[in-house]
Amino acid sequence: MDRIELKALGKINLGIDVLGRRENGYHDVRMVMQTVYLYDLITIKKRRAPGIGVETNLYYLPTNENNLAYRAAKLLKDEFHIKEGVSIRLDKHIPVAAGMAGGSSNAAAVLFGMNRMFELGLTMKELMDRGVMLGADVPYCIMRGTVLAEGIGEILTPLAPMPRCFVLLAKPPVAVSTKLVYEKLDSREIDDHPDIDGIIDGLKEENLLRITASMGNVLEGVTIEEYPVINEIKSTMKQYGALNAMMSGSGPTVFGIFDDRNQARTAAQKIKAAQLAKQVYVVNIHNARRK
């Protein structure tokens, strides 16, 4: 196999709770992760020249070791003494620095793809153990589906799949630093913890209303203080039929859960017309796990 093409899917968080901060700056979290059908297309090719080449359609992304896809390739090349060079093409569609794990999903795809391409024989668990060295969300991006993520995000428990629904994603044109959001969170008391168990029970009961009513993100308040546009997008989504709407990850992407695709489309048009966000997508959820 000299070439492999992979879809690196983005995620949303149906719930994020932060339980504490570790000495090393990482946080103990309790998150419900959900893969959505919005993806970057990753093409990996073997090449004559040694080393790793990365190219992307987004001029502002790094193509050196600061790119997570590069780092994933380097990790496997070093460990398995792979002499052949690889070139990696990233066709990015997942909004960048948006709370949708774009970089992590690219790293996950490269680990998964190179394991196949070079017949390294790593199990999913072994791939995830390597993934966490690149980022806390990478193991989840390898697994995919509806998952409870604990520890720093790497202790994964598969959950009952999200019932049929439509997801409206809207990324306002502001840049959010995950690190700064967590730092601000550390400086305050968390007195309102989201109902993660309610989400899990709702999933078990296949009860979309219970799931959406239990959604919550402890990081939301921090980011909204800085970017009130997030609240405007949430309100617009709810006004036009979202069962609930919330910020994903550390933001600024907002997602709304709809049981009606046309309502999601109407809400999307309203958000664009009001110029609250340019990057607006109606997508399906993606429940299949990688095997």
Instruction: From 58-66, 73-81, 143-151, 183-191, give the range in contact with ligand ATP by CB under 6 A.
Output: 58-66
CB 195 within 8 A of CB 15: yes
CB 112 within 8 A of CB 139: no
Q: Which one is catalytic: 11, 92, 171, 234?
A: 11
Return the residue of 99, 131, 172, 194 that touches ligand ATP, per CB under 6 A: 99
Does position 68 interact with ligand ATP (CB under 6 A)? The reply is yes
**CB 60, min distance to ligand ATP, A:** 7
Instruction: From 67-75, 163-171, 190-198, 231-239, give the range in contact with ligand ATP by CB under 6 A.
Output: 67-75
Instruction: From 90-98, 123-131, 180-188, 239-247, give the range in contact with ligand ATP by CB under 6 A.
Output: 90-98
The full DSSP string for 40-56 is: EEEEEEEESSSSEEEEE
Q: Is 137 a residue of the active site?
A: yes
Select 13 or 236, whichever has its Cβ closest to ligand ATP: 13
Q: For residue 275, how many C-alpha atoms fall within 13 Å in the half-sphere facing its CB?
A: 0
Query: Of all residues in this chain, which one has the CB nearest to ligand ATP in the complex?
Result: 103
Alpha-carbon gap, residue 140 to 152, rounded angstroms: 11
Does position 96 interact with ligand ATP (CB under 6 A)? The reply is yes
> Partners of 8 in the beta sheet?
40
Return the residue of 103, 145, 202, 256 that touches ligand ATP, per CB under 6 A: 103
**For residue 268, which of 243, 224, 231, 233 has the smallest C-alpha distance?**
233
Alpha-carbon gap, residue 138 to 61, rounded angstroms: 19
Say whether 65 sits in a helix, a strand or coil: coil
Contacts of 82 (CB under 8 A, 6+ apart): 76, 114, 118
Does position 268 interact with ligand ATP (CB under 6 A)? The reply is no
Q: Pairing relation of β-strands 52-56 and 85-91?
A: parallel
Q: Is 291 a residue of the active site?
A: no
Return the residue of 69, 168, 196, 208 that touches ligand ATP, per CB under 6 A: 69
Does position 230 interact with ligand ATP (CB under 6 A)? The reply is no
Active site residues: 11, 137
Residues that bind ligand ATP (CB under 6 A): 61-62, 66-69, 90, 96-104, 106, 137, 178, 249-250
